[in-house]
Structure 1
Amino acid sequence: MTGEWHKSTYSGQGGNCIEAQARLTATAVRDSKDPDGPVLLFPADAWSSFVAGVKGGEFPPS
């Protein structure tokens, strides 16, 4: 995969993070502790809906 990976600014130094990489038609997501491991690809509209849900409080922190 090419391109720049980004970690949330809310991520601390605990290591329990994901990184995302925006692409033209999808967003790639991986575990920051395993950068050579598997990558999940989400269609752009699905990722946008997920982010809107998080921002709207649909997924409260546990």
Structure 2
Amino acid sequence: MKWRKSSHSTSNGENCVELARITNGVATRDSTDPDGPKHAFNVAEMAALFEAIRQGDYDL
């Protein structure tokens, strides 16, 4: 599995999420804990998340 970190991530390694393609979806993990838990999302779940982000549902 090839993990990718956003180009917007800081070089100090804090608060970074990595993504990897999996069959029918995407896996995520904390880049500071590569052996820790991983979470899988199917294509529909990721699309819904990205749409909610675009609409500002997660603006802080």
TM-score of the pair, normalised by structure 1: 0.77
Runs of 4+ in 1 over 3 A off after TM superposition: none
Could you say which residue in structure 2 is the equivalent of 1:6?
A: 4
Aligned counterparts of 1:13 and 1:22: Cα–Cα separation in 2:
23
- For residues 5 and 55 of structure 1, the distance between their equivalents in structure 2, rounded to whole angstroms, comes to 24
Structure 1 residues 1-51: Cα deviation after superposition (integer angstroms, max 9, x where no partner): xx2111122211242111011223121000000111110111211011112
Give ranges in structure 1 of 5+ residues lacking alignment: none
**CA RMSD after TM alignment:** 1.5
Unaligned runs of 5+ in 2: none
The reply to whether residue 32 of structure 1 matches residue 24 of structure 2 is: no
Count of residue pairs brought into register by the alignment: 59
- Identical aligned pairs, as a percentage? 31
Q: TM-score, normalised by structure 2?
A: 0.79
